[in-house]
Structure 1
Amino acid sequence: MATTLTYEAFLDEVTTLLTEMYDMEDDAAIKLVMQAQDAEYFVIHDDQPELRTLEQAKKDAVALHTAKQNRVQTQQKQQKRVAVKKRP
């Protein structure tokens, strides 16, 4: 059986994994986890202790990073479209 972490330890583990897996700066990883927490991404983890495992932390780190990359790509595409429309 997987070890269950406290909610705070779980968030710390997700943050640590982001820095280790994706070479993110500590501040950037903390910001990403805090944004996810503000968006209530981790509410279910607080309610269901069985979701606060090291394995789940890794899955959530991947999911948060993937979502961040998708947002960045979408913003870049939108900026390109705006730039193209502004051309004379």
Structure 2
Amino acid sequence: MSYEQHLDEVTTLITEKYDVADDEAIAMVMRAQADDFFSGHDDDTSICTLDRAHEDARIVFRQYGKTAKTAKTGKGAKGGR
């Protein structure tokens, strides 16, 4: 799949696996992309596979889902302290 298709697949998997709204999943993927999380994928599209999309969705949700939750609730790891 192409780089763009891979990003779409990661976004879709986040919404399906973690019951996240589309706009939140898109924001997570965009933050990961801004942090160059997907830079290797853009350079080598052979790693843009369905298996890799599942792995990337898990990692992106784990790393960037916390940011989305914090931004939504205004609470950080310390419960808003």
Provide structure 2 residue ranges, at least 5 long, that are not aligned to the other structure.
Answer: 71-75
Report the CA distance between 1:79 and its aligned residue.
3.3
Structure 1 runs (4+) greater than 2 angstroms displaced: 68-73
Q: Which of these residues, 68, 71, 79, is aligned with residue 64 of structure 2?
A: 68
Counterpart position of 2:35: 39
User: What is the TM-score normalised by the length of structure 1?
Assistant: 0.75
Asked if 1 retains the 8 angstrom alpha-carbon contact of 2:28 and 2:65, the reply is: no
> Cα RMSD (Å) of the superposition?
2.0
Task: Kindly state the Cα deviation for residue 70 of structure 1 after the two structures are TM-superposed.
Answer: 5.3
- Aligned partner of 2:10 among 9, 14, 19: 14
Rg larger in 1 or in 2? 1
Q: Equivalent pairs: percent with the same residue?
A: 41
Q: In structure 2, what is the Cα distance between the partners aligned to 1:76 and 1:40?
A: 24
Alpha-carbon distance in 2 for matches of 1:27, 1:70: 15
Which runs of no fewer than 5 residues in structure 1 stay unpaired?
81-88
